[in-house]
Amino acid sequence: GARTRALRRGAHRTASLLRSAPAWQRRPAHTSQHGSVCCFLRQSELVSVDRPKSNTFVSMDRLRLFQAAAGGGGPPEAPAVDTSEMVYISSMALLKMLKHGRAGVPMEVMGLMLGEFVDDYTVKCVDVFAMPQSGTGVSVEAVDPVFQTKMLDMLKQTGRPEMVVGWYHSHPGFGCWLSGVDINTQQSFEALNQRAVAVVIDPIQSVKGKVVIDCFRSINQGLIMLGQEPRQTTSNLGHLNKPSIQALIHGLNRHYYSIALSYRKNELEQQMLMNLHKKNWTDGLRVADYETHAAENCKCVEEIVGLSTAYEKAVKQEIELSAEQLVVATVGKVDAKKRIEDSVMKLMSANIVHCLGTMLDTVVF
């Protein structure tokens, strides 16, 4: 009947397509349990001939390839990066990064971070080690794979089986941001692990109680082209520092985004850090070298003489000038009176301690 004629027409069309296609593109036609021809595969195009009325080429594979090239072809079930993601850096790793950065001033230094990815919201860094590289810029070629492999093997022997979670480098004196070369380096790390992070630390601007440090990860430009956000927001956890104008100029939130940092310390780590530069009671009994002590006394007295001259001029200005003129005249200048008081107190305390220590050593020993 009509169904038989439709099946015959479909078979004739399939045969004509097979004859017109080159030999290397031909595939054997398969028949369903009802005797109908299912499909004919031609490279990545699916030509459906089950329905005689539908003669459209559906290029699903080509569409997937285009989306992948644009950056949006990932699997829909892949977890998106969250804004509440936190990077926890241990105290030892932070001290090592600061020490390495200070040792390399004014050059940039680089190293790798060891740790683990605990979950989708937590990256833990427990230790770092330096790489044999320094210069004005960090490039992909500077990462020595042989040194990295040997170092990881030796760390495993000492009880450090953690994996590489990212890399760090220093920006001595010019803030935390990623240059073009740094972005390329970060992309090479993300090619191995999509959650790899890049930490930038400034050893010059860092002071006691405030470390100038930031953590970054590159943004997939395909998501920007498709109008999608690089990260999803599911909670209000995490605290991001206000970005500097220099970081915004160099592509922050356009080529890379910032990740919240935290320094979690337990009681033992806090006790260790408190005892790091703790003075002992025996330090007060130590007597300084006599020549060094005499040189410091001469230097302090000379400083007091110069400050006395400046203080005499300041007293004359107080008499001659009015209150408003005096405020304008003393802006940005050293307060000679306070400096003299501090120098005298320092000189007297040092000499009293030195004399008492010398007398005690003479009596005891």
Q: With a cut of 70, say whether residue 264 has pLDDT above it.
A: yes
For the segment 297-327, what is each residue's pLDDT rounded down to a tens digit? 999 999 999 999 989 988 888 888 888 888 8
Which residues fall within 8 angstroms of residue 277, CB to CB, at 6 or more apart? Answer: none
* Mean pLDDT, rounded, for 330-353: 88
What pLDDT does 17 receive? 56
- Percent of the chain at pLDDT exceeding 70: 75
Q: Are 247 and 200 spatial neighbours (Cβ–Cβ below 8 Å)?
A: no
Q: With a cut of 60, say whether residue 210 has pLDDT above it.
A: yes
* CA 146/CA 185 separation, integer angstroms: 17
What pLDDT does 47 receive? 39
Nearest 10 degrees: Cα torsion 93, 96, 98, 103 = -160
For the segment 138-174, what is each residue's pLDDT rounded down to a tens digit? 555 567 788 888 998 998 898 888 999 999 999 998 8
What pLDDT does 238 receive? 64
Q: Which of 87-96, 197-206, 330-339 has the lowest mean pLDDT?
A: 330-339
pLDDT-based confidence at residue 54 (cuts at 50, 70, 90) = very low
Q: With a cut of 70, say whether residue 7 has pLDDT above it.
A: no
Which contiguous run of DSSP H or E holds residue 129?
strand 122-135
| Residue in this structure with the two tokens 């060094």, named with its chain if needed | 292
Q: With a cut of 90, say whether residue 237 has pLDDT above it.
A: no
What pLDDT does 332 receive? 75
What pLDDT does 76 receive? 45
Q: With a cut of 60, say whether residue 330 has pLDDT above it.
A: yes
Q: With a cut of 70, say whether residue 356 has pLDDT above it.
A: yes
Q: Are 231 and 83 spatial neighbours (Cβ–Cβ below 8 Å)?
A: yes
Mean pLDDT value across the chain: 78
Q: With a cut of 90, say whether residue 31 has pLDDT above it.
A: no
* Mean pLDDT, rounded, for 219-247: 78
- Grouping H, G, I as helix, E, B as strand and the rest as coil, residue 78 is coil
Put residue 209 in one of left, alpha, beta given phi > 0 → left and psi -120 to 50 → alpha: left
pLDDT-based confidence at residue 224 (cuts at 50, 70, 90) = confident
Q: Which residue has the higher pLDDT, 250 or 36?
A: 250
What pLDDT does 141 receive? 53
Domain ranges of the chain: 2-58, 86-274, 281-364
Q: Which of 132, 96, 118 is nearest to 165 (CA)?
A: 118
DSSP-derived letter for residue 259 is E
What pLDDT does 233 receive? 79
What pLDDT does 117 receive? 93
- Percent of the chain at pLDDT exceeding 90: 29
86-274: which CATH number, 3.40.140.10, 3.40.605.10, 3.40.50.10860, 3.10.129.10?
3.40.140.10
* CA 178/CA 182 separation, integer angstroms: 5
Which residues fall within 8 angstroms of residue 326, CB to CB, at 6 or more apart? Answer: 317, 318
Q: Which of 5, 18, 19, 20 is nearest to 52 (CA)?
A: 5
Q: With a cut of 60, say whether residue 56 has pLDDT above it.
A: no
What pLDDT does 145 receive? 83
Kindly report the number of other CB atoms within 10 A of residue 4's CB atom. Answer: 9
Q: With a cut of 60, say whether residue 72 has pLDDT above it.
A: no
Q: Which backbone phi and psi does 303 adopt, to 5 degrees?
A: -65, -40
Which residues fall within 8 angstroms of residue 93, CB to CB, at 6 or more apart? Answer: 113, 125, 126, 127, 128
What pLDDT does 102 receive? 92
Q: With a cut of 80, say whether residue 33 has pLDDT above it.
A: no
